[in-house]
Amino acid sequence: MATLHRYNGSAWVQVPNGTTVSHYNGSAWVNPTHVKYWDGDSWETAWSKSDPITLAFTCNASQGWRSTAAWRTDTKVRFGAFSTFGDNLTVLEFSADSTTGGYTSTSLAEALAVRPNVTALKLTLTRGSGGASTISGSTSETLLVGQLNKTNGTSMSTYNAGSFVQTTNMQTIPASDLQGWSYLSSQTKQFTFGGSASTLTGLATHLSTKQMWISEKSSGWIASGGGTSSSDIYSVCDGSADTNKPVLTVTLDY
């Protein structure tokens, strides 16, 4: 990708994308949206102004799985282990268009083609009846979110979900974010993912064409029982067929 440079008196240094480039339009200095150059065949972008937008994508497909290779018949989002019935993993898909403002006909893939850098990524889930009414305030259990190596539109019930789990760009929702989360009155929580911009961009880029997984572990799912303490956070959340569907919120910039 082309970049814009300036001479600082001793060396050429890159001018990063942002708001530090101006041009004179005949009456005033203004900040352009892009600086482009002609490469002989087309106009190429060398620099872009920071102009972020935030889009929300509603989950359009979800289904739960346990390590017995049994898929649930509903679309609920489950994680943790209930009693002796094993660990849960849920697959989610965000391939529908944005539900935000004037961008309601824009998919995540289309948005990334224009603004390829992701600066913030959030997941919203709403608990329903299932597990303890409120997750213990002393739990040390975390929740993991990551990339599933299956293309959007793939029928979820026809494969072993655990064999497609990837840990690249994986996100950890800390115990502190889960503590006190109640299903009373369908309590909703929005989880903000951490990591570098490149990590968030990598995860969002994956989710523009492939599915997401969510579970309390990334391997070693137990078919009966839940291992150590995963029953502490056993939860059932609304899925793609429910009122309070999961939502992926993405902030993108040039």
Q: What is the mean pLDDT of the chain?
A: 92
pLDDT of residue 228: 57
pLDDT greater at residue 190 or residue 104: 190
Please tell me the least confidently modeled range out of 12-26, 45-59, 110-124. Answer: 12-26
pLDDT of residue 231: 84
pLDDT digits (tens, 9 = 90+) for 140-172: 999 999 999 999 999 999 999 999 999 999 999
Residue 22: pLDDT band with limits 50, 70, 90: confident
pLDDT of residue 68: 77
pLDDT of residue 19: 75
Please, which residues have CB within 8 angstroms of residue 21's CB and are 6 or more apart in sequence?
Answer: 4, 15, 31, 32, 35, 47, 49
Residue 189: pLDDT band with limits 50, 70, 90: very high
Cα–Cα separations (whole angstroms), residue 35 to 41, 51, 106, 250: 17, 14, 25, 25
Q: Where are the domains of the chain?
A: 5-48, 53-253
Query: What span, in angstroms and rounded, lies between the C-alpha atoms of 199 and 21?
Result: 27
User: Does the pLDDT value for residue 16 go beyond 60?
Assistant: yes
pLDDT of residue 229: 60
User: Does the pLDDT value for residue 2 go beyond 90?
Assistant: no
Q: Is 18 left (phi over 0), alpha (psi -120 to 50) or beta?
A: left
Average pLDDT of span 4-23: 87
Residue 48: pLDDT band with limits 50, 70, 90: confident
User: What 3-state DSSP class applies to 149?
Assistant: strand
Model pTM? 0.88
pLDDT digits (tens, 9 = 90+) for 50-101: 889 999 999 999 999 988 778 999 999 999 988 778 899 999 999 999 999 7
Query: What span, in angstroms and rounded, lies between the C-alpha atoms of 243 and 238?
Result: 7
Percent pLDDT > 70 in the chain is 97
pLDDT of residue 1: 60
Query: What span, in angstroms and rounded, lies between the C-alpha atoms of 35 and 133?
Result: 55
pLDDT of residue 67: 82
Residue 224: pLDDT band with limits 50, 70, 90: confident
User: Does the pLDDT value for residue 40 go beyond 70?
Assistant: yes
pLDDT of residue 226: 60
